[in-house]
Structures are given as C-alpha cells and as structure tokens.
Amino acid sequence: MSLKIGDKLPKFTAINSNGNAFDSQSFIGKSLVIYFYPKDETRVCTEQACSFRDNYEEFKELGAEVIGISSDSNKSHQKFASKHQLPFILLSDNDKKLRKLFGVPNDLFGLIPGRVTYVVNKNGIIEMVFNSMSGKIHIEKALEILRNQSHTAK
C-alpha cells in the first residue's frame, strides 16, 4: 500500500552516507522533502539531485530538510554527494525496506525503481506525493507546497 496525502510519516531508521544513524522521528517539528530515486550517477537522477542542490538554500529557508533515498550503497552515495557537492542527506535502501514502507512503485514496465517525492509537514503529515520519472519537476512541486505552507503559517 502506498502512502498518500494525509498519512503520517512512518517511523524508520537508516544509515546515511556519512555512516551516521538517521531516525525519521528526530525530524518531527521540521518539514521534510523525501525523494526516492532509481540510481546514483544516472543522467536524470544526477540532474534531479543537482536541482535539489541548486535550490537547497530555499528549502532550508522554508524550514525543510531534503533527504534522497535509493538502493545504492553508502559508499556510492558518498562518491555521488562529493562529486556533485550535494549538501543534503542521502540514505541507502539496499534492502528496499524503505521503498516498501512508503509503497514506492517501480516504473511502468516494472524494471526501474520509481521516482517519488513526499513533502511532510512539521507535524509529520504527508502533504504531497508526486510520482514522475521526470526528475526536475519534483523540485518545483515540492517548493510550491512548502511556499504554500509558509504563506498559510503567516
């Protein structure tokens, strides 16, 4: 079953690309942009990651942390983050437990892991689920939701 708008962010832990423990519950009180992507160093995934990087300051200004998740190893994530100067958290999901927990589907042909972005508000509630194999549009959609949160809070 896939997570949908209005669902609560599931509790999960993982190891980030720096080898540190990540606990989803430690981010309650902060907005999250969690994006699942197929693979480090592929063209669309790299464009997407670099677009998140290029807009990272705006995400931070809007009170959100960005988290990228793929099945690549932490070693692969370290190289990917270093090469492209990615300032946000990358989590390894090599056992695909997180992908299953969120209900992220594969692409239409079932061959490639899906590309889905979730925006989670400060209360841990999912406010956006965006599923598209096109990379860059995820950033625009996430920023739009966060900007609306910001205007509503004022």
- Note the pLDDT tens digit of each residue in 15-42: 898 888 999 999 889 999 999 999 999 9
* Residue 11 clears pLDDT 80, i.e. is over it: yes
Q: By percentage, how much of the chain surpasses pLDDT 90?
A: 75
Q: What are phi and psi of 147, to 5 degrees?
A: -65, -40
- Cα–Cα distances (Å) from 113 to 37, 38, 55, 110, in that order, read 7, 5, 24, 8
Q: Tell me the mean pLDDT in the region 3-10.
A: 95
Structural domain count, the chain:
1
Which of the four pLDDT bands, split at 50, 70 and 90, describes residue 110? low
pLDDT level of residue 114 (50, 70, 90 thresholds): confident
Per-residue confidence (pLDDT) for residue 134, from 0 to 100: 82
Is the pLDDT at 152 greater than 80, yes or no? no
Q: How confident is the model at residue 135 (pLDDT cuts 50, 70, 90)?
A: confident
Annotated active-site residue in 3, 9, 45, 69: 45
Q: Quote the tokens at residue 58.
A: 């705006």
- Asked if residue 34 belongs to a domain, the reply is yes
Q: In this structure, what are the phi and psi dihedrals at residue 114, rounded to the nearest 5 degrees?
A: -65, 165
5 domain residue, yes or no: no
Contact between 137 and 51 under an 8 Å Cβ cutoff? The reply is: no
- What average pLDDT score do residues 39-65 get? 95
Mean pLDDT of the chain: 91
Domain that holds residue 45: 13-153
Q: Residue 24 corresponds to which tokens in the numbers above?
A: 């989803």
Tell me, yes or no, whether 144 lies in a domain: yes
* Structural contact between residues 55 and 139, judged by C-beta atoms closer than 8 angstroms: yes
In a domain, 6, yes or no: no
Q: What CATH number has the domain bearing residue 61?
A: 3.40.30.10
pLDDT at 154 over 60: no
4 falls within a domain? no
For the cut 60, the answer to whether the pLDDT of residue 9 exceeds it is yes
Domain-located, residue 8? no
In a domain, 7, yes or no: no
Is position 45 annotated as part of the catalytic site?
yes
Q: Are 125 and 9 in contact (CB under 8 A)?
A: yes
